[in-house]
């Protein structure tokens, strides 16, 4: 009997659901956390989805599949296969990836599952590590985006100070220290 393997990951992101959805579906943003790969699709059920890396003018397709189910801002489910798996490109070798988004305490919870590994523990372990990398990168992306805003709450990385001529100026204060501290905590 084949052992059923399933990757399950959940991450809380300090961003609105619409921003997380954009990060999942925008090629320029996906490159920032998904192994430098741009996600491409027309985002309709049955349509292809591919993760491509562009290197020295060439497109390298790392993952491909088809959209199985999509509800913008809530659910993205697709099949996935990559040539690095060493497996033949046939439907039975495709895994199923499900990304669910929900609002929780003013943040977005992203749950990712990947299943249908056919008992292949190496492929399961590679995917498990891959999602750890990607979701950590996604958290860093939202932290970085937050650092470039001037929010008016107490954790804002900017504060207004008066310079000697009386004019206000924006000063970056302790961003490096605060960013590293938050990095260790979360």
pLDDT at residue 159, as a whole number: 30
Structural tokens at position 186: 């979360």
Domain count, the chain: 2
pLDDT at residue 2, as a whole number: 64
CA distances for 26 relative to 20, 78, 130, 164, angstroms: 10, 16, 19, 44
pLDDT at residue 140, as a whole number: 94
pLDDT at residue 7, as a whole number: 98
Task: Judge if 100 and 70 occupy the same domain.
Answer: yes
Q: Could you tell me the pTM of the whole model?
A: 0.77
Beta bridge partners of 80: 95
Task: Judge if 138 and 166 occupy the same domain.
Answer: no
CA proximity to 5, closest of 117, 108, 95, 110: 117
Instruction: Give SS3 for 156.
Output: coil
Task: Judge if 138 and 99 occupy the same domain.
Answer: yes
pLDDT at residue 3, as a whole number: 72
Structural tokens at position 21: 């959805």
Task: Judge if 51 and 89 occupy the same domain.
Answer: yes
- Consecutive H or E run containing 112: strand 107-115
CA proximity to 101, closest of 4, 48, 184, 25: 25
pLDDT at residue 97, as a whole number: 98
pLDDT tens over the chain, length 186 residues = 567 899 999 999 999 999 999 999 999 999 999 999 999 999 999 999 999 999 999 999 999 999 999 999 999 999 999 999 999 999 999 999 999 999 988 899 999 999 999 999 999 999 999 999 999 999 999 988 774 433 433 333 333 233 333 333 333 333 333 333 333 333
Task: Judge if 173 and 127 occupy the same domain.
Answer: no
Does residue 1 lie within any of the structural domains? no
Task: Judge if 94 and 163 occupy the same domain.
Answer: no
Domain coverage including residue 164: 151-186
User: Whole-angstrom Cα distance, residue 174 to residue 158?
Assistant: 9
Task: Judge if 139 and 186 occupy the same domain.
Answer: no
**CATH code, 136:** 3.30.530.20
Does residue 88 lie within any of the structural domains? yes
Task: Judge if 173 and 126 occupy the same domain.
Answer: no
Task: Judge if 109 and 179 occupy the same domain.
Answer: no
CA distances for 69 relative to 25, 37, 72, 177, angstroms: 14, 22, 10, 42
Task: Judge if 100 and 36 occupy the same domain.
Answer: yes
């Amino acid at each position: 009997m084949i052992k059923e393997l399933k990757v399950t990951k959940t991450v809380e992101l300090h961003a609105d659901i619409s921003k997380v959805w954009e990060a999942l579906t925008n090629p320029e943003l996906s490159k920032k956390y998904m192994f430098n790969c741009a996600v491409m699709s027309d985002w309709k059920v049955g349509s292809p989805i591919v993760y491509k890396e562009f290197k020295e003018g060439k497109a390298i397709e790392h993952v491909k599949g088809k959209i199985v189910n999509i509800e913008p801002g809530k659910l993205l489910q697709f099949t996935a296969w990559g040539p690095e798996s060493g497996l033949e490109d046939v439907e039975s070798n495709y895994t199923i990836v499900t990304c669910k988004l929900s609002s929780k305490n003013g943040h977005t919870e992203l749950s990712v599952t990947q299943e249908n590994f056919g008992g292949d523990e190496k492929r399961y372990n590679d995917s498990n590590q891959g999602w750890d990398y990607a979701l950590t990168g996604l958290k860093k992306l939202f932290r970085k985006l937050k650092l470039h805003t001037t929010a008016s709450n107490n954790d804002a990385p900017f504060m207004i100070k008066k310079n000697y001529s009386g004019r206000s100026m924006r000063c970056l204060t302790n961003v490096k220290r605060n960013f590293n501290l938050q990095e260790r905590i979360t």
